[in-house]
Structure 1
Amino acid sequence: EMQRSNGLSSDRNILCLFDVDGTLTPPREAIQNQIGEELLQDLINFCLSYMGLIKLPKKRGTFIEFRNGMINISPIGRSCTPEERIEFSEIDKREKIREKFVAALKEEFAGKGLRFTKGGLISFDIFPEGWDKRLCLELLQSEGLDAIYFFGNETSDGGNDYEIFNDPRTIGFTVYCPEDTARLCRELFFDAPHES
């Protein structure tokens, strides 16, 4: 049997999971059904109060987006232009606006069964504990897979790929762009050893 240069044989049953930005698949249940209206309102009110204290060069609309299964919080506002996204991202790198916001939420809502993960350039998500990307792994356990490879870009602590990237059921790879992902997949699955 021919072995690839990376040691992967062609008969292994491997599943690749890719985090593709902008392709959210919402959980089946609305967040308010999971956490209750009282906690949901406390959370939204806290976020509105906190954002009222943040000074930025610009603020736009849609600061809190109520999605099925999660709440998305954006200190600059989701309706900002692409240029304003980049500007906020640079400020956020220096001043750690989202990181401090999440730290305040973790302190205020400790023990309430909520998770907070940063994703993308301008926002972070709030969702019930256990509703992160690992949810799919439960469904895949009965598939008889030899390995599950996960490719994501927000794999550091606090990122929205962190939990699944570090789960013992996956082999995680950090990627930064589609070209990086394609290069890594070629190396893993298609590059044969070179004969000399």
Structure 2
Amino acid sequence: MREFLIEARKRVPLAIVGGSDFKKITEQLADHDKDLLLSLFDYTFSENGLYGFKGTEPYPVQSIQKAIGDAKLQELINFALRYMSDIQLPVKRGNFVEFRNGMINLSPIGRSCSQEERMQFVEFDKKHGIRQKFTEQLREKFGQYGLQFAIGGQISVDVFPTGWDKTFCLQYLVPDFDTIHFFGDKTAPGGNDHEIFADERTVGHTVEGPEDTRKHVENVLKELD
């Protein structure tokens, strides 16, 4: 996939946007090598663009605690910990709450789970709607605080100020490009790709994994021929 993206970038500029923090994205895409990651993309956006780069030049960093205040953050975290403590899962591990610059990431199983345990949770969540129910409870209790709640990745729920979804990164792209294609898998309402997928400033593509992403990108590149 990395080799494919390197070839695709010879024809079009590439940007990556993810809800994870910069360290996790570097781990996933560049074997913990920051310089390699920034060399692969023209734009790199972690935490939906709240911590991002154009090439190697950083954009200003945003902060969720400055946006809503520590009192509301603590109320949210306390509620989430109580709620997750009552969920019965096949296994639970550690790191249930991850504090990032622009969001809080809540994981019922815990982000320190193994890959095998992660996939076990994915199947359990599909059957029982664990994260969907969690998101609904959070939205009902804290929606009035100007927060959004989205099912993120495979094991967690993202909490962030309204407007700080993945469309946040578009402010850095729109001035330079007439057409922006976005490829994501959580594009249905409630997923953390939905807002940018449905945004009028992008052409959205729903993909199911790396190989499917490659096929969609290849089709877009063919249209440019």
Query: Is 1:174 aligned with 2:174?
Result: no
Partners of 1:185 and 1:128 lie apart in 2 by: 31
The Cα of 1:17 is off from its aligned counterpart by 4.6
The Cα of 1:142 is off from its aligned counterpart by 2.2
177, 180, 192: which one aligns with 1:148 = 180
Partners of 1:55 and 1:118 lie apart in 2 by: 19
* Residue identity (%): 50
Partners of 1:192 and 1:169 lie apart in 2 by: 19
Match of 1:134, SS state, is helix
The Cα of 1:57 is off from its aligned counterpart by 2.0
- Mean Cα displacement is larger for which, 20-29 or 128-137? 20-29
State how 1:77-116 maps to structure 2 within 5 Å.
77-116=110-149
- Please, which runs of 5 or more residues in structure 2 have no aligned partner? 1-11, 26-44, 51-60
Match of 1:25 in 2: 46
Partners of 2:81 and 2:126 lie apart in 1 by: 22
Q: 1:40 to 1:192 in 2, by over 3 A?
A: closer
Partners of 1:49 and 1:178 lie apart in 2 by: 36
- Mean Cα displacement is larger for which, 48-57 or 23-32? 23-32
- Please, which runs of 5 or more residues in structure 1 have no aligned partner? 1-13
Partners of 1:175 and 1:139 lie apart in 2 by: 24
**TM-score relative to the length of structure 2:** 0.74
Match of 2:194 in 1: 162
Q: Which has the larger radius of gyration?
A: 1
One-letter code aligned to 1:36: G
The Cα of 1:163 is off from its aligned counterpart by 0.3
Q: 1:85 to 1:36 in 2, by over 3 A?
A: same
Partners of 1:192 and 1:131 lie apart in 2 by: 32
- Choose between structure 1 and 2 for higher RCO, CA contacts under 8 A separated by at least 6 residues: 1
Query: Please, what is the CA RMSD of the aligned residues?
Result: 2.2
Contact 1:19–1:152 (8 Å) recurs in 2: no
Match of 2:143, SS state, is coil
Query: Is 1:40 aligned with 2:61?
Result: no
138, 141, 164: which one aligns with 1:131 = 164
Contact 1:75–1:123 (8 Å) recurs in 2: yes
Partners of 1:43 and 1:92 lie apart in 2 by: 22
Match of 2:95 in 1: 62
The number of equivalent residue pairs is 180
What do residues 76-108 of structure 1 show as CA deviations (whole Å, max 9, x unaligned)? Answer: 111111111111111111110100000000000
Match of 2:174, SS state, is helix
Contact 1:19–1:151 (8 Å) recurs in 2: no
Match of 1:6 in 2: none
**TM-score relative to the length of structure 1:** 0.84
